[in-house]
Amino acid sequence: MARKAGTPPSHVEGGDSKSHRTRTRILDAAAHVLSVKGFAGTRLTDVAEYAQLQAPAIYYYFPSREDLIEEVMFCGISDMRLHLQRKLDELPPDATAMEKIMTAVDSHLRHELELSDYTTASIRNSGQIPEHLRTRQKEEEAAYGRIWQRLFTDAIADGEIRADVDARLTRLLVMGALNWAAEWWDPSRGTLDGVVRTAQTLVQTGLSPLRATPQSQ
């Protein structure tokens, strides 16, 4: 399967019609090819082959290669944002700000590395896509970033993150590190659980308030 999970992108409508299934198949295939070959290396012939379709059939659903790639890039970030929001909504009402951040780290890494070719493609190709194809993607990135920003801002206000750090810079640095995992993680050399635990430890210990040390006598 093209997607690492079997469900179609959250925002794609059309029910269970044959047309909807075919469109989803094309998107799934494009997400997989884009995540592996990158923007420059993605060809509609490769997408068609992976989707087990004739290449001309793609044009019935997408006017061009760029339109197809633009949709995949948007799906990747949109799905990731919705996935994170669901995970946060599932937490108990009394969850601490740091517990929410730990959930966000887990959600981001698993969606990026395990659950969705769309997200992998979107993260790995963000710097390669022409600017005119990134309008919707950038809007979703901003919305996703606002969720993270609120988590760090709340954690600072609650005293769970040291007060001498900048919430915006913290968000950018943490998310940048998590995104980079798409470039280096090799499942044959370590489990995803290990990556998640290590990332959570680094974030929590690196940002937690400094403990007061006894004055030397």
Query: In the numeric block, which tokens belong to residue 98?
Result: 């740091």
Is residue 124 predicted with pLDDT exceeding 90? no
Is residue 74 predicted with pLDDT exceeding 50? yes
| Residue ranges of domains in the chain, CATH in brackets | 71-207 (1.10.357.10)
| Residue bearing tokens 């995540």 | 35
pLDDT digits (tens, 9 = 90+) for 22-68: 999 999 999 999 988 989 999 999 999 999 999 899 999 999 999 99
Cα 42 from Cα 33, distance rounded (Å): 6
What are the distances in angstroms from CA 212 to CA 59, 110, 209? 64, 35, 9
DSSP code, position 188 = G
Compute the average pLDDT of residues 142-149. Answer: 96
pLDDT digits (tens, 9 = 90+) for 157-196: 999 999 999 999 999 999 999 999 988 988 888 899 999 9
pLDDT digits (tens, 9 = 90+) for 80-117: 999 999 999 999 999 999 999 999 999 999 998 888 88
pLDDT at 199: 97
Is residue 2 predicted with pLDDT exceeding 50? no
pLDDT at 182: 87
CA 208 from chain center: how many Å? 25
Is residue 5 predicted with pLDDT exceeding 60? no
202 band by pLDDT with thresholds 50, 70 and 90:
very high
